């Protein structure tokens, strides 16, 4: 099928299409990076218009609100780290192993969405294929009620986007960043995976000095 226009994608998100039309768009998005990216952007725009903040949403009856001190299995929420089109990332503490983790969950408004859940778990499965020093590590995947989550290694530091805003790295720094990124992408290619969203914001520069590539949500 031809790429659906934004109005059709909005109707798809709002479940205002027939089951046959929803199925056709769902299949199309799986093979179309441009439409998948647009869908994520529409989710983010819709969420920002209907919620003053991630923490201020009205929870579904089956889901307890995620706030500081909330518990998700063995993880205790400490604060929000960031958000994207599909998910929200929290700093949490793993009470079993006594270590910090980045806990990523599906946005509350997308709970129950088969499309969002499928893509969320696809990212987790893709990232879990790798055991590489320059690709972020997954610790655990789980589900509480209808809320799926992924626990990733928590990395203190910055990302390449923030670094480029703050200053211009010198040649040596550029090489020190580019080589690990190339190694990470080569590892993904060895597993038959294309990242499809490699950008400065998805290249982390942690305090430990070991570059990590993150966010394989658009990979295939």
Enzyme catalytic residues: 197
Q: 138-141 — which CB contacts under 8 Å span 24+ positions?
A: 139/94, 139/101
> How far, in Å, are 5, 39, 61 from residue 34 at the CA level?
11, 9, 34
- Cα separation, 83 vs 66, whole angstroms: 14
What is the side-by-side strand order in the sheet with 99-106? 71-72, 75-83, 87-94, 99-106, 147-153, 138-144
User: CA 88: distance to chain centroid?
Assistant: 8
Angle at the Cα of 4 (from 25 to 27), degrees rounded to 5?
A: 20
User: CA 186: distance to chain centroid?
Assistant: 21
Q: Coil, strand, or helix at residue 60?
A: coil
Residues 6+ apart with CB under 8 A from 5: none
């Amino acid at each position: 099928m031809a790429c659906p226009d934004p109005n059709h994608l909005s109707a798809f998100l709002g479940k205002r299409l027939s089951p046959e039309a929803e199925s056709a768009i769902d299949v199309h998005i799986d093979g179309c990076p441009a439409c998948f990216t647009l869908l994520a952007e529409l989710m983010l725009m819709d969420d920002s218009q209907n919620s003053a903040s991630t923490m201020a949403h009205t929870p579904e009856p089956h889901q307890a609100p995620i706030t500081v001190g909330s518990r998700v299995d063995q993880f205790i929420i400490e604060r929000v780290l960031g958000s994207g089109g599909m998910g929200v990332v929290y700093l949490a503490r793993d009470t079993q192993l006594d270590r910090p983790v980045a806990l990523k969950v599906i946005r509350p408004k997308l709970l129950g969405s088969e499309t969002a859940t499928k893509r969320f778990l696809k990212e987790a499965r893709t990232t879990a294929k790798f055991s590489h020093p320059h690709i972020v590590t997954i610790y655990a995947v789980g589900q509480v009620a209808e809320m799926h989550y992924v626990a990733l290694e928590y990395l203190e530091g910055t990302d390449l986007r923030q670094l480029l805003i703050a200053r211009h790295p010198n040649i040596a720094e550029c090489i020190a960043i580019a080589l690990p990124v190339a190694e990470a992408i080569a590892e993904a290619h060895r597993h038959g995976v294309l990242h499809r969203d490699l950008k400065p914001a998805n290249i982390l520069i942690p305090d430990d000095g070991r570059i990590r590539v993150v966010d394989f949500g658009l990979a295939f």
